[in-house]
Amino acid sequence: MSITFNTAALLFPAISLIMLAYTNRFLALAALVRSLHAKYLEHNKSGVLHGQIKNLRYRLKLIRQMQALGVVSFITCIVCMYCIYMEFKFFTELTFALSLLFFAVSLIISLVEIQVSNRALELELGDMEGRKKSGPQ
């Protein structure tokens, strides 16, 4: 298999777009953390709020891992381009494979984070359903 500049360059837009998506998820999560902090300061220390905080901590950890692996994927892709330039066939293939591997693992962690995010929404919905059932009928 011969890896060319064009082959390695295919990863650049994909990695850049996924990093943008990860950053957007992080910014949305940061806004949610700030919102929950305001609720917490209002002394609304319900079990749902504590569950959300625990969930958010885990999601932040996952997003940090997603972003780190995305950056490592980008760096290995750059190293791959350098190896192509220097005509180091073995290292070209190795770094390209590593870049793909890091990118794939980053996407898998992203999938896990999406699942955890859905559980957080289920927690909120469950709390609203519980309040509705216990309220006036």
pLDDT tens string 74-130: 999 999 999 999 999 999 999 999 999 999 999 999 999 989 888 877 877 776 677
CB 95 within 8 A of CB 76: yes
pLDDT of residue 28: 87
Q: Is residue 101 part of a domain?
A: yes
Q: Is residue 67 part of a domain?
A: yes
* Secondary structure of 29-85 in HEC code, one letter for each residue: HHHHHHHHHHHHHCCCCCHHHHHHHHHHHHHHHHHHHHHHHHHHHHHHHHHHHHHHH
Q: Is residue 6 part of a domain?
A: no
Q: Is residue 5 part of a domain?
A: no
pLDDT digit string, tens, across residues 14-69:
888 888 998 898 888 888 877 877 777 676 656 667 777 888 899 999 999 999 99
Q: Is residue 56 part of a domain?
A: yes
Q: Is residue 7 part of a domain?
A: no
Q: What is the pTM of this model?
A: 0.76
Q: Is residue 113 part of a domain?
A: yes
Domain carrying residue 36: 13-130
pLDDT of residue 133: 60
pLDDT of residue 79: 96
Q: How many domains does the chain have?
A: 1
